[in-house]
Amino acid sequence: MQELFTREKGLERKILIVDDEYIEREMLAAMLSDLYDVSYSENGEDALVFIKENKYTLSLVILDLHMPKLDGYSLLKIIRSDAQLRRIPVVVLTSEKGSEVECLQMGAADFITKPYEAPDIVRARVGRAIELAEDSIIIHETERDSLTKLFNKEFFFEYGKRLDRQRDNSPMDAVVVDINRFRIVNALYGRSYGDEVLKKIGNALHDFVNNVGGLACRSGSNSFDIYIPHYDDLEEKIKGFFSKLEQSTKENKVTVRVGICLDEGQPSEMVEKFDRARLACHKLSSGYTNCLGFYDSKIQNREIYEERLIKDMDTAIEEHQFKVYFQPKYNITAEVPRLTSAEALVRWFHPELGMISPGDFISVFENNGLIQKLDRFVWSETAKQIKQWKQKYGKSIPVSVNVSRVDIFEPKLEEILLDIVKGNSLSTGELLLEITESAYTDDSMQIVEKVSSLRNKGFKIEMDDFGCGYSSLNMLTALPIDALKLDMKFIRNIETNPKDYSLVCIMTEIAKLLNVPVIAEGVETKGQVDLLKKAGCDIIQGYYFSKPLPTKEFDALIDKIKSEDI
């Protein structure tokens, strides 16, 4: 046991013996000096000077209570109340019965009674006090985030639960703080700058929690959680925090968004409250100002609705509640527009909730991976339909399907698509793939590789929602694509807003540069068609020609075209 506390010669731990009696000092030194680097002080004042000078290296103080100048009680009080000295354990020397308890209450680590017990006991007590203090520093470091010194997530939830128990579950509010566009801050100014920002926000939160009570932690690379007693005026308090944050981060140009779940008496676990606060936070857009949002009944209802959709998804696939609609795409380069292809768009006919549009469920399914199952269903249904049209009309109508960003990370994507195509005796060129532009910015190298490989197999790739992502011009030239699909928000106002029209012209120019056709979607009026034609757009999809149609109506459309051709 003793070996635990010994160190090599020259590296011994430093301890200070403070006692005005020469004999006492010498006796202790005799017991300890072969294990430790021992120093002495004769009174409290000298001791304090020594302790301050050696605050980073001193491992322990052995303190007599009765001394001239500054007595042991007062010195102990000073050490315990000083943030920098507090970590140094103090073992008190005492001959009075009863003073032990008082000293332990004042924060002494242990006591040694006079006259001294056997040297082994003294050594063990000293060694133990040092070990405990060092352990508690290690614990402190493991439970804290090294950069901000706030708790890390695991300890935060552990201590939060303890706090709940201590406070007999009196109301506690959960608050989530996210730094807006932190990734960009890091990318633009470098990591050490980002670290500074994190530290400043961490400090501001530390002060906030010190003020209002509770706990704070760093819960992610750009996010913080705080758990605080419930306040009716929390919004005001957070605004106070905003103004303090603004002062400290003025030149850093960063803003935060804050999501709050108020504890309004309903029983709920800490973790649950934070899930809700996080949801409220994510609903806020990452703008250029600080903002806050509460978890409310609207978010709750949406959450319940989404849960329902997730729960019902499997049955819906089994019972064919999902139907694939087809929206025709027309080539407008010739005098008369000509039906060339279509886009497959899914609809959900829910037995109780009625028709649900994809805008309501696609992102929900993307968040939990269910989208892969749905997309496979849509791809197979589409391939079957292409095959049927081919058999019925003796002509292939290529159809594009949406490939979610989640699908792209599926290692077997190529295999799955090839199986579907071959299973319906189609060529890869008949099933077009729409991939949204923003997917390319997620992990561009991996996506470029995947997409190149699909193209090598003969699939044609259309870049969907072009203009909404962040492709740079030089990245575009490297991207493997066969068509650009302009996002409909650029089309909406081209008749009234010349700037929007110029943008469309620029984007068609880019497509020409890349040598790929341009598809415009969301086209609703004759005026838009004319302008798009003038801008050099090749293909048009939109209500002007047709809404997405169920198979039967799409059949009727082909029949009509065929009869007009004849």
Residues forming the site for Ca ion (CB under 5 A) = 402, 434, 464-465
Among ligand C2E, Ca ion, none, what binds residue 339 when CB lies within 5 to 8 Å by partner kind? none
When asked if residue 359 is in the footprint of ligand C2E (CB under 6 A), the reply is: yes
Residue 115 preceded by cis peptide, ω within 30: yes
User: Of 109 and 342, which CB lies nearer to Ca ion in the complex structure?
Assistant: 342
**Closest separation between CB of residue 435 and ligand C2E, Å?**
10
When asked if residue 378 is in the footprint of ligand C2E (CB under 6 A), the reply is: yes
When asked if residue 328 is in the footprint of ligand C2E (CB under 6 A), the reply is: no
When asked if residue 346 is in the footprint of ligand C2E (CB under 6 A), the reply is: yes
CA dist 270 → 58, 164, 262 (Å)? 40, 8, 11
Only one residue has tokens 């006079």, namely 114
Binding residue for ligand C2E, selected from 81, 95, 221, 357, defined by CB under 6 A: 357
When asked if residue 522 is in the footprint of ligand C2E (CB under 6 A), the reply is: yes
Among Ca ion, ligand C2E, none, what binds residue 543 when CB lies within 5 to 8 Å by partner kind? ligand C2E
E strand or H helix that includes residue 23: helix 22-32
β 399-403/338-350 pair status: parallel
Helix, strand, coil percentages, rounded to 5, for the chain: 50, 20, 30
User: Of 249 and 382, which CB lies nearer to ligand C2E in the complex structure?
Assistant: 382
Among ligand C2E, Ca ion, none, what binds residue 522 when CB lies within 5 to 8 Å by partner kind? ligand C2E
When asked if residue 400 is in the footprint of ligand C2E (CB under 6 A), the reply is: no
- Distance from C-alpha of 141 to C-alpha of 177, rounded to nearest angstrom: 23
Q: Which stretches of 210-332 are assigned E, i.e. beta strand?
A: 215-220, 223-229, 256-261, 291-294, 322-331
Which of 78-86, 97-105, 352-360, 408-416 is the region at the interface with ligand C2E (rule: CB under 6 A)?
A: 352-360
Q: Residue 247: exposed, middle, or buried by beta-carbon count in 10 A (0-12, 13-18, 19+)?
A: exposed
When asked if residue 548 is in the footprint of ligand C2E (CB under 6 A), the reply is: yes
User: Of 323 and 455, which CB lies nearer to ligand C2E in the complex structure?
Assistant: 323
When asked if residue 381 is in the footprint of ligand C2E (CB under 6 A), the reply is: no
- Distance from C-alpha of 538 to C-alpha of 33, rounded to nearest angstrom: 91
User: Of 402 and 546, which CB lies nearer to Ca ion in the complex structure?
Assistant: 402
When asked if residue 410 is in the footprint of ligand C2E (CB under 6 A), the reply is: no
Which one-letter DSSP state was computed for residue 75?
A: H
When asked if residue 468 is in the footprint of ligand C2E (CB under 6 A), the reply is: no
Which of 153-161, 205-213, 216-224, 522-530 is the region at the interface with ligand C2E (rule: CB under 6 A)?
A: 522-530
Among ligand C2E, Ca ion, none, what binds residue 437 when CB lies within 5 to 8 Å by partner kind? none
**Closest separation between CB of residue 529 and ligand C2E, Å?**
11
When asked if residue 313 is in the footprint of ligand C2E (CB under 6 A), the reply is: no
When asked if residue 99 is in the footprint of ligand C2E (CB under 6 A), the reply is: no
- Distance from C-alpha of 318 to C-alpha of 337, rounded to nearest angstrom: 39
**Closest separation between CB of residue 366 and ligand C2E, Å?**
7
User: Of 67 and 403, which CB lies nearer to ligand C2E in the complex structure?
Assistant: 403
User: Of 195 and 442, which CB lies nearer to ligand C2E in the complex structure?
Assistant: 442
Cα angle for residues 421, 426, 429 (degrees, 5° grid) = 85
**Closest separation between CB of residue 312 and ligand C2E, Å?**
17
Among Ca ion, ligand C2E, none, what binds residue 293 when CB lies within 5 to 8 Å by partner kind? none
486 beta partners: 466, 520
Applying CB under 6 A, the site for ligand C2E has a residue count of 21
Residues 6 or more apart from 211 whose CB is under 8 A from it?
A: none
In what order do the strands lie in the sheet containing 223-229?
A: 151-152, 215-220, 223-229, 172-179, 256-261, 291-294
User: Of 115 and 359, which CB lies nearer to ligand C2E in the complex structure?
Assistant: 359
β 14-18/37-41 pair status: parallel
Nearest-CB residue for Ca ion: 434
Which of 90-98, 234-242, 473-481, 541-549 is the region at the interface with ligand C2E (rule: CB under 6 A)?
A: 541-549
Binding residue for ligand C2E, selected from 89, 160, 202, 358, defined by CB under 6 A: 358
- Distance from C-alpha of 20 to C-alpha of 139, rounded to nearest angstrom: 36
**Closest separation between CB of residue 554 and ligand C2E, Å?**
14
**Cβ atoms of residues 438 and 405 within 8 Å:** yes
CA dist 536 → 45, 74, 331, 529, 545 (Å)? 88, 87, 12, 11, 18
Within a 10 A sphere around the Cβ of 494, how many other Cβ atoms? 23
**Closest separation between CB of residue 429 and ligand C2E, Å?**
20
Backbone angles phi, psi at 174, to 5 degrees: -105, 130
When asked if residue 524 is in the footprint of ligand C2E (CB under 6 A), the reply is: yes
User: Of 174 and 383, which CB lies nearer to ligand C2E in the complex structure?
Assistant: 383
When asked if residue 316 is in the footprint of ligand C2E (CB under 6 A), the reply is: no
SS3 273: helix
**Closest separation between CB of residue 543 and ligand C2E, Å?**
3
Among ligand C2E, Ca ion, none, what binds residue 225 when CB lies within 5 to 8 Å by partner kind? none
Which of 27-35, 355-363, 476-484, 507-515 is the region at the interface with ligand C2E (rule: CB under 6 A)?
A: 355-363
Nearest to 532 by CA among 339, 328, 326, 330: 330
Measure the N-to-C terminal CA separation of the chain; round to a whole number of Å.
Answer: 102
Q: How many residues does the chain have?
A: 566
User: Could you list the residues that contact ligand C2E (CB under 6 A)?
Assistant: 327, 345-346, 357-359, 362, 371, 375, 378, 402, 404, 464-465, 521-524, 542-543, 548
